[in-house]
Structure 1
């Protein structure tokens, strides 16, 4: 099989960084500058600051992780005879061997499409994660969606349907 490489889209990454910055600034605005409104809970200073700081921390952290991808000169997804190498996001699954893949499915979470790779050894992929936040995210993916591996095309130079078609076709050749 000819190796297929899907590159990371620097343009899409810059767009995601910009989006995370917007939410960081929105968090700052909520915490310090939001006007008084007619809804009592929204006027609670502790509530507003909590929401603002959570937005700053979450989207600031996501922005940092996304920015790291901007400076990587690696592929996003590589598909070859060994399996699928996932380097598409800050949660890299690494090599997913064909013999470990049970199925490849589409999923949608909050209007975002994902390719869910169902594996027969999910705990291996969870244990591989060294960062505690990444590990918790992967564990949550497994508990909620049945797989620790969720691949998005948001930062890749390929459309969702095209990547799904390639991955399922390559898996079907090996079954």
Structure 2
């Protein structure tokens, strides 16, 4: 079986880019109007500036992803590499995967992976990723939650592929 690389869908990235630009323009508008919010005029400046900074940074990130779509998930004979979110663990060999399943949260489906020796996996990660994953674990969430929202792949199909690869290469 060949390596499968699941990349971001450029049409979805373009749609996100348009939305982020609209939000930047809206934030600029809020910044420059002198309308009192909650009876205070400078609140619009604060809200507008925060929106410009946040959505401006998001726009830059989305432009980068649009120009060069990243591999969200790589599945090969050695295991899987998850790059689907800011707190992704990265590479997980087949022998470290205990179970794989789909979990629906707020109208989005995630491919969830229970991993052997999660503490070992966390050692090589940044402190930000470690803390976020530990917080997720405290809420009962699995250590790995792969989102395919930026791709054109259905979670059920990817789950089937992962299970097939695990069955073949986890010997």
Output the TM-score relative to the length of structure 2. 0.69
Offset at 1:163? 1.5
Quick one: distance in 2 between partners of 1:45 and 1:92?
41
Please, which runs of 5 or more residues in structure 1 have no aligned partner?
A: none
1:13 lines up with 2:9 in the alignment: no
Quick one: distance in 2 between partners of 1:142 and 1:46?
40
Bigger drift between 114-123 and 63-72 goes to: 63-72
* Preserved CA contact (<8 Å) 2:33 2:44: no
Quick one: distance in 2 between partners of 1:137 and 1:58?
20
User: Of the two, which has the highest radius of gyration?
Assistant: 2
Residues 19-168 of structure 1: pairs in structure 2 closer than 5 A: 19-28=19-28, 33=33, 42-43=38-39, 55-72=51-68, 74-130=70-126, 132=128, 134-168=129-163
Cα RMSD over matched residues? Answer: 3.5
Offset at 1:86? 1.8
Task: Report what 1:170 is aligned to.
Answer: 165
How many residues are aligned here?
170
SS in 2 for 1:68: helix
Offset at 1:60? 4.2
* Preserved CA contact (<8 Å) 1:76 1:87: yes
Output the TM-score relative to the length of structure 1. 0.68
Quick one: distance in 1 between partners of 2:34 and 2:147?
33
1:106-135, CA deviations, whole angstroms, 9 ceiling, x for partnerless residues?
Answer: 223332222122212333444434374x55
* Preserved CA contact (<8 Å) 2:16 2:62: yes
